[in-house]
């Protein structure tokens, strides 16, 4: 199975900060990667698919980049509603897998 | 709007069975693959299974292969997960989610999620 390693597992930031979350795949997955945001007690929300395609309605401060094994989610200017846990997910190979998550805290 | 509503969760003893359902509305159910994804309390996300739009292609996580069966009834716009030989480590919130890809036998990302149903396996 493709293993996804997210770093850091948690981070502390302030409103207005630029935040970068990394996701590394154990083997090449082309651009078959998605990013999700999850708030406590809620289901995840799709932010980005195909490594860099922003979903409709997602603020433009979110961006994704990368291909192959190394991927990045960037929040250009952190807003209060962005404090949440973020997950990457690969869909190149079955079984589909998620990264361990990155908790963004104040 | 797309709506997915899970049901069937509860407390069950180890070794017993449970069937989850996911009622879909607001989109053409017969045109999308659908997934089950679970999240143990306080833990990360784990993909469980997928069934293609036509029901012919199914894939499972290794952790549930041979114990869980995914199925769908397109006439009822409903997804199912039959869970047998349940273990304590199956305790989780189970979400159903729609695949983003339209009429495809491959899987991509999950663009709509239900609110989840909690399954607790305990004696």
Q: Which residues of B touch A97 (CB under 8 A)?
A: 47
Which of the pair, B104 or B42, is modelled with greater confidence? B42
CA pair distance A95, B86, nearest whole angstrom: 20
Residue A93 sits at the chain B interface (C-beta within 8 Å): no
Residue B101 sits at the chain A interface (C-beta within 8 Å): no
Q: Which residues of B touch A100 (CB under 8 A)?
A: 44
- Confidence at residue A89, expressed as pLDDT on a 0 to 100 scale: 98
- Confidence at residue B107, expressed as pLDDT on a 0 to 100 scale: 86
Residue of chain A minimizing CA distance to B107? A91
Query: What confidence tier does A87 reach under pLDDT thresholds 50, 70, 90?
Result: very high
Tell me: the pLDDT tens digits for A7-23?
A: 999 999 999 999 999 99
Could you list the beta-strand ranges (E) of B41-91: 45-51, 58-60, 68-73, 78-83
Residue of chain A minimizing CA distance to B61? A95
Contact B119, B14 (CB under 8 A): no
Residue A46 sits at the chain B interface (C-beta within 8 Å): yes
Could you list the beta-strand ranges (E) of chain B: 3-7, 10-12, 18-25, 32-39, 45-51, 58-60, 68-73, 78-83, 92-102, 110-113, 117-121
Q: Which residues contact B41 (CB under 8 A, 6 or more apart)?
A: B91, B92, B93
Tell me: the pLDDT tens digits for A20-57?
A: 999 999 999 999 999 999 999 999 999 999 999 999 99
Please report, rounded to a whole number, the percentage of residues in chain A having pLDDT higher than 70. Answer: 100
Instruction: Say if the Cβ atoms of A89 and B107 lie within 8 Å.
Output: no
Residue A32 sits at the chain B interface (C-beta within 8 Å): yes
Return the number of CB contacts < 8 Å for A and B. 59
Query: What confidence tier does B2 reach under pLDDT thresholds 50, 70, 90?
Result: very high
Residue A88 sits at the chain B interface (C-beta within 8 Å): no
Instruction: Say if the Cβ atoms of B107 and A100 lie within 8 Å.
Output: no
What distance lies between CA B47 and its chain's CA centroid?
Answer: 9
- Confidence at residue B106, expressed as pLDDT on a 0 to 100 scale: 85
Tell me: the pLDDT tens digits for B60-113?
A: 999 999 999 999 999 999 999 999 999 999 999 999 999 998 888 888 999 999
């Amino acid at each position: 199975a493709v293993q996804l390693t997210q770093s850091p597992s948690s981070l502390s930031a302030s409103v207005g900060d630029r935040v970068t979350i990394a996701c590394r795949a154990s083997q090449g997955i082309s651009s078959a990667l998605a990013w999700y945001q999850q708030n406590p007690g809620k289901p995840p929300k799709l932010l980005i698919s195909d490594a860099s395609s922003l979903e409709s309605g997602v603020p433009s401060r979110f961006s994704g980049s990368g291909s192959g094994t190394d991927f990045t989610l960037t929040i250009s200017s952190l807003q209060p509603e962005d404090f949440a846990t973020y997950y990457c997910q690969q869909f190149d190979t079955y079984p589909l897998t998620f990264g361990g998550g990155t908790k963004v805290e104040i | 709007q797309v709506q997915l509503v899970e049901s069937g969760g509860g407390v069950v003893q180890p070794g017993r069975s449970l069937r989850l359902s996911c009622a879909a509305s607001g989109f053409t159910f017969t045109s999308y693959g659908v997934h089950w994804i679970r999240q143990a309390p306080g833990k990360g996300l784990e993909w469980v299974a997928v069934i293609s739009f036509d029901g012919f292609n199914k894939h499972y996580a290794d952790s549930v292969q041979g114990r869980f069966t995914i199925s769908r009834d397109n006439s009822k716009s409903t997804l199912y997960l039959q869970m047998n030989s349940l273990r304590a480590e199956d305790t989780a919130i189970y979400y159903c989610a729609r695949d983003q890809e339209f009429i495809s036998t491959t899987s991509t990302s999950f663009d709509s999620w239900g609110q989840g149903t909690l399954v607790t396996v305990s004696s």
